[in-house]
């Protein structure tokens, strides 16, 4: 599969954001995450970047987007972070980091390697 240059740029944006989230959360647990506003804000911002990049891929290249698991849920999560800031549960964000970020990283890595 050939990936358009702008789509590849968005994939690199996602990749960089994923690496940042990993760096921000390295060596901490859910309790530390839930009590640290700075780390929460940094992680949430990177999820906004991830969701927006996926949204842009959606508009440009649905074939590539189909290779990313749960992309619609990730875009929806970005919308909650951006517009529903008052209902964001830090422990939900933490669980997404732990349970879903590895798959996103793997999917994006596969696409970037192709």
First CA to last CA distance, the chain: 7
CB 6 within 8 A of CB 60: yes
**List 56, 83, 100, 103, catalytic entry:** 83
Kindly report the number of other CB atoms within 10 A of residue 7's CB atom: 19
**List 56, 73, 78, 100, catalytic entry:** 78
CB 15 within 8 A of CB 109: yes
Rounded to the nearest 10°, the torsion over CA 60, 62, 66, 69 is 40
83 a catalytic residue: yes
78 a catalytic residue: yes
- Catalytic site residues? 78, 83
């Amino acid at each position: 599969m050939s990936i358009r240059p702008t789509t590849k740029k968005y994939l690199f944006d996602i990749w960089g954001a994923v690496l940042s989230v990993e760096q921000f959360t390295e060596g901490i647990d859910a309790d530390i995450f839930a009590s640290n506003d700075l780390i929460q804000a940094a992680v949430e911002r990177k999820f906004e970047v991830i969701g927006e990049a996926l949204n842009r891929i959606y508009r440009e290249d649905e074939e590539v987007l189909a290779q990313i698991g749960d992309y619609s849920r990730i875009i929806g999560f970005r919308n909650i972070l951006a517009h529903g800031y008052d209902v964001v549960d830090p422990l939900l964000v933490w669980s997404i980091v732990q349970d879903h970020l590895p798959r996103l990283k793997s999917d994006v890595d596969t696409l970037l390697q192709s």
